[in-house]
Structure formats: C-alpha cells, structure tokens
Chain A
C-alpha cells in the first residue's frame, strides 16, 4: 500500500505540476500493448490535465496491463423532447476489435459526468418510476452503486459522478480504488478517501 500511495502521489504531482508532457502514452506492456489513439480521441493528455469544466478522475496511464488508449469528450446541446444529453469525459483502457457491424467496448471505460446532470437519482427502469436494478455500497468513503448486473459501478464524489464500465465487479472495485485526479480541480484525501458528494448531489438537487 505505501508503494501505491507513492505512485499515486507522483502521478498527481505530474498532473498538478504541469509536467504532463513527461507522460508518454505509448505501449506500456502487460496484457494490452495499446497506445493512445489520438486520431480517435477528443482530448489529449495535456488537454485533460487542464480541463476546466469539472473535476476528472481516472486510473493514470495504465491499469492492470491495460493502457490508456483513448479519451472522449462529449457535450451536446439539449434537444427536445429529450431531457438528457451527453456531457462527460471518458477514459478508455485497453482496446477491442469490432466484428462486422457490431461494435465492441473497451475492457475498462471511465466516464466522468457533472453530478448535476447525472447522479443516483437520475435513473428509473420505466417512466412509471420503477427503480433501475442496483446494489448500493461505499467506496473510499463515498456512496457508490453497481448497475447493469455488476458491469457498471458509479462513484459519487464531490460535484461529479464517476461511471466505470468493465466485465467484472471485482475489477471495477479495483479500478475504483485506483481512481486519482486527472486534472487540477480533482482532489483525493491523504487517507485515500474521495471527497464527499456535494450537498444534494445524490438526490438530484445539485444545480449546474
């Protein structure tokens, strides 16, 4: 654990100190030798580090042999009658190969949304308000919930909702335990805890 803290601290220092250029997102070995696919990324590493809109959390340049292979920035205008819109930054780890007309997911994807637009109170299975199946838990001192039969974990911290997708619960929890700030406005406590969810964020009362 102390080694992990040291590594976390070094990474945060690089980000906050503006030394991001020192990070070369090339193949890092392990189970996936992917490199950052700049042609299909909306953000650069440098761009993510100074992203101004909300705090970003990710797991660094690699996780369990999966390299950071891409970053997404989607923010769209609202279009009636749809009350929702995409507004997130995504970090993709590892790669996959689509087959025919069927797309494929990255082995690990982390999306960070403003909590005022996506939070635990956002969901229902039906328009009648039936609850979307989930399992609540606490991760690093903050509320969290599994959805999608354990293939999606949401961590509610500060003013953001961190959404992790992977194949297994255990991997999602390991990734959540490795979350660290990826831009200047993200914070983590020295004891490994994440910032408490903002007042009203879980209940959908946080204003944008």
Chain B
C-alpha cells in the first residue's frame, strides 16, 4: 500500500534521473557468504536510491544513526549478473557488542527511475560468547512468536532502525516499500533462526554528503 501511495513521488524522482541511467533496477534479494553468490545469509531489506553510491549511503547512515564503520566479515551481493563483495558496513556497537549492523553494496548499474542504487542488509544482532567454539560471534535476533513474544526479527528491526533514522531528514525522501517476499530463514550461530518478513524500504540519498 505504501508503495502505491509513493509511486507518484518515485515517478517524479524518475523524471530527474531520466536520461542519465542505462539499465533497469536489478538486484538479488539476499547477501551471500561467498563469492559465487550461491550461499544466502541475510535478506536485503533496504534500497537507497537517487545518488546512492555505497560511499554516500554509508556517510548518511553514519550521520543519521550515529553508527561507525563496521568490522563484520564481508558478504557478497548480486546485481545485473555480477557477484561482488560488500563495500561498506556500519554498526552501532563494537565488534564484540550486541548492535545494529548493515552491509551495503551499490548495484552494478543505475536505473532510469531510481538513479544510483545501493542495497543493504541492516539487522540487529546479539553478541553470543559461546558461538564459534567459544570465540564468540553475532547472532541475528529471531522473530517473535504468537503476537509479540520476542518482538520483530533482527532483520525487521534493522529495517525499522534505518527508517526511524532517515524519515523526515532533509534530502531523504521515503520512497515507499516493496514486498519481495524474501522471507527465507537463516540459522544463526546460537542455533536460532531469523528471517525478514519480506518488505523492502526505499530511501532517497541526496547529491551531497555530510
């Protein structure tokens, strides 16, 4: 519903970018653990568009969330038939803290309506000391059971956190949502399973950095 309500706004944005782009928006729906992009690990839940290079997207996310540059392991993103590694990641806490965390990668090509696009996999994850044979590791929060017990999954929390950070900020038009249905669940290092509920939020990035 949000998507339809915001379609006009997106179309207007498209006018701005018409003539500058060369391909349609194209992306995989998950990040992957290895360079073949055949090992899904996190669902994509945000698309940053407009002037959203990965560098600018990371700059704005840091500014509006207060997060810092990330230290998580790299993952891979697919778009336009190309599989390529994470270029930026930001996080709200230290490498051994429970935190919000996002990995991002610009799509290979621009889009006539959405301009330069970057996809991201924001999530909330707990630090679990017992993971990785006692070395410790991060586990994305599992989703709630029976109306609220446990709350939204860590992937759904991540999307909401990006929304709350960018909504109403100058230059960051909320472009609406699209339901991709990318709800596959992923086993975490603590044995829990976490997934997205399938929505993807679109946020515009301005032609400037902080």
Contact = CB atoms under 8 A, between A and B. Distances in A.
B206 interface: no
Main secondary structure on A side of the interface with B = loop
A32 B209 CA distance: 50
Contact of A123 (B114, B148, B180): B180
Nearest to B7: A128
Nearest to A82: B199
Contacts of B189: 98, 100-101, 103
Interface stretch (A37-45, A57-65, A174-182): A37-45
A5 B88 CA distance: 53
A72 B185 contact: yes
Given A75-B147, A102-B75, 4 more contacts: A74-B153, A82-B199, A83-B1, A106-B185
A90 interface: yes
B147 A77 contact: yes
Interface string A79-117: 101111110101010011111111111100101000000
Contacts of B41: 102-104
B184 interface: yes
Contacts of B144: 74-76, 86
Interface string A142-156: 000001100010100
Interface of A: 37, 39-40, 42, 70, 72-77, 79, 81-86, 88, 90, 92, 95-106, 109, 111, 118, 122-130, 132, 147-148, 152, 154, 163, 165, 167
Contacts of A152: 181, 184
Contacts of B113: 126, 128
Contact of A83 (B2, B24, B188, B195): B2
Given A40-B191, A79-B152, A127-B3, A109 B178 contact: no
B93 interface: no
B191 A81 contact: no
Interface of B: 1-4, 6-7, 10-11, 14, 24-25, 29, 33, 38-42, 47, 72-73, 75, 113-114, 125, 132, 137-138, 140, 143-148, 151-153, 156, 159-160, 163, 174-189, 191-195, 197-199, 202
A104 B180 contact: no
Nearest to B148: A77
B176 A127 contact: yes
5 contacts: A84-B198, A101-B189, A122-B179, A128-B11, A152-B181
A95 B186 CA distance: 10
A82 B177 contact: yes
Given A39-B191, A77-B147, A77-B148, A101 B138 contact: yes
Contact of B197 (A86, A100, A127): A86
B160 A79 contact: yes
A104 B186 contact: yes
Contact of B180 (A77, A83, A99, A132): A132
Nearest to A76: B144
B183 A99 contact: no
Contacts of A106: 185, 187
B178 A86 contact: no
Which of B75, B113, B153, B156 has the most C-beta atoms of chain A within 10 angstroms of its own C-beta?
B156
Contact of B153 (A86, A98, A99, A111): A86
B33 A104 contact: yes
Contacts of A73: 145-146
